[in-house]
Amino acid sequence: MVQLKQDEWTRMSSTADARDVAIMKHCIELSYNCEVSPTAFSVGSTLFLPSSSPQFPILKSRFPSFSKTDSAESEGLILADGWSRQIPGNTHAEANALTNFRKVYGELLEGTDSTTSDLPPIEDVLADASCYATMEPCSVRTSGGPSCALELVRSKVNSVYLGVEEPPDFVQCEGVRILQDGNIEVISVSGLEEECLKAARRGRD
């Protein structure tokens, strides 16, 4: 069984809540959109706004709803999806989800009258949003690109849910520590570690 590093495991909470498991399974599906690479993982990520957020009633007609089942009441909104190499330039899943959300939200703002728009500032939406990712957000990149963990800290998301820690195939990742040092809650979604790792290493066997 894949396990988190002990020092990080003791500092992180975990969840097996049906909603969180369902969203993580959605992220696993996203990871299969990735063009496989022998030198990089394939990761899926989603920015999710829970229905408990005060921004939910304002945004529910503008973003896809997410439910545990087709007949269930909405659990929240999918603000954006992202996956590794979705955007050209060896890009990562979490950064792509953030980029995709900012693009869509910017277009929404441009399409409204700024004096009458009920759209909240993007910072308020991100402050209530959670990022789900099949693998621990990167801290260091061999390509020298931006750290996804730092990007999430700078975006001031509410929390990050991860499916599995990043194994030391390429670098030693400290994404959990960076997120926690940035006052972002990190939660491990239990039970999908092997699926997340298999998807991440796809095409490298």
Alpha carbon separation from 32 to 134, 149, 153 (Å, rounded): 11, 22, 26
Q: Which helix (H) or strand (E) holds 180?
A: helix 175-181
**Given 8, 73, 75, 94, which residue is catalytic?**
94
Alpha carbon separation from 24 to 6, 38, 59, 119 (Å, rounded): 22, 24, 22, 28
CA distance 188 to 193: 9
Q: Does residue 110 have an active-site annotation?
A: no
Spacing of C-alpha 132 from chain mean position:
3
Residues catalogued as catalytic = 94
